[in-house]
Amino acid sequence: AAAIGKGQKKAMVLPSLTIHATLHLLTVRKIRIEAIDTRIITHGTLVVMDPFTAKIYGGTVHGKFRMDLSQGLPSFKKEMSIKNVAVGSFLSDLRPGGKERFTGRFFGNIRGEGTLGLPSTYKGKATFRIEHGEVQHVAILRMAAALMKLPSLAHLRFNELRSVIDVKDRRVHVVTA
């Protein structure tokens, strides 16, 4: 066994458990998540949720999550696939009373890893697309439409919007796919 040096914390050792959890409804920051189903495994310094499934705004989320408590700061890895989520309903619950209107169906994949605590770290990549969408009543679009004398810019309709987001070194890089 390695010696623990001055200032180092001993790793938390968890009991070995396997838990199958099902929640009918969970509300987190006004977001409704339904039919959550997961298997949680703890062993040594690891906590694993695999698989994780849920229903959210008419769509589904599938994924897995792993946390390692063996180092000074807990580290994690996550993967998620999101399919067919109703953008308008999701954003209305997230920001009730907002004048903006968004519609469409959201599909995406997220992979990321990092550490929790101070300082925290994160790097990851998300790819997403929104199908059959519409955006209206967004102040910046109305302003751009007026400046460019393009009224149609204030009410955007699209068949598909795609993007890739990379997070590295505390910076977010958005790339239009």
Measured CA distances, 154 to 10, 85, 99, 143 (Å): 57, 24, 13, 8
Average pLDDT, the chain: 89
Q: Look at residue 111 in the predicted model and tell me its pLDDT.
A: 97
User: pLDDT (tens digit, 9 = 90+) per residue, 76-89?
Assistant: 999 999 999 999 99
Q: How confident is the model at residue 97 (pLDDT cuts 50, 70, 90)?
A: confident
For range 68-79, the mean pLDDT:
92
pLDDT band, very low/low/confident/very high, at 2 (cuts 50, 70, 90): very low
In the sheet that holds 75-86, the strands lie side by side as: 14-28, 31-44, 46-56, 59-68, 75-86, 101-115, 121-136, 155-168, 171-176
